[in-house]
Chains A and B, each alone.
Chain A
Amino acid sequence: METTAVRRRLTWQVAAVTSIARETPSVVTIELQPPDWPGHRAGQHLDVRLTAEDGYSAERSYSIASAPGEPPAITVERLENGEVSPYLTGELRAGDQLELRGPIGGYFVWEPANDSPLMLIAGGSGVVPLRSMLRHRLRTGSDVPARLLYSSRTLPDVIYRGELDHYGDGARVIYTLTRSQPPGWTGYAGRVNAATLAQTAWPASQRPLAFVCGPTRFVETVAQNLIALGYPPDRVKTERFGGT
Chain B
Amino acid sequence: MSPVSRGFRGRSRVPAEEEDRIPPGQHLTNDFPVLSAGPTPHTPLPEWTFSITQGGDTLKSWTWPQMQALPAETIAADIHCVTRWSKLGTQWRGVSVDTLLDQVAAEAPYVLAFCDGGYTTNLPTEDVTGGKAWVAFGYEGAPLEPEHGGPARLLVPHLYFWKSAKWVRGLELRDHDAPGFWETYGYHMYGDPWKQQRYAGD
Contacts and interface: CB of A to CB of B under 8 A. Distances in A.
Most buried by A among B3, B145, B185, B200: B185
B185 A106 contact: yes
Interface residues of B, number: 43
B84 to A, nearest CB: 6
B83 interface: yes
Q: Main SS of chain B's interface residues?
A: loop
B44 interface: no
A83 B11 CA distance: 6
A240 B200 contact: no
B37 A238 contact: yes
A51 to B, nearest CB: 4
A103 to B, nearest CB: 9
A23 interface: no
B40 A51 contact: no
Nearest to A97: B3
Contacts of A244: 31-34, 145, 147-148
B184 A5 contact: yes
A223 B184 CA distance: 24
Interface stretch (A8-16, A150-158, A187-195): A8-16
A107 B13 CA distance: 33
B5 A98 contact: yes
B73 to A, nearest CB: 25
A237 B11 CA distance: 34
A56 B13 contact: yes
B32 A237 contact: no
Given A5-B179, A83-B11, A107-B185, 9 more contacts: A5-B184, A8-B201, A9-B202, A106-B185, A216-B33, A238-B38, A241-B33, A242-B33, A243-B29
Interface of B: 2-13, 25, 27, 29, 31-41, 83-84, 117-118, 145, 147-148, 179, 181-182, 184-186, 199-202
6 contacts: A6-B200, A52-B9, A83-B11, A98-B5, A99-B2, A238-B37
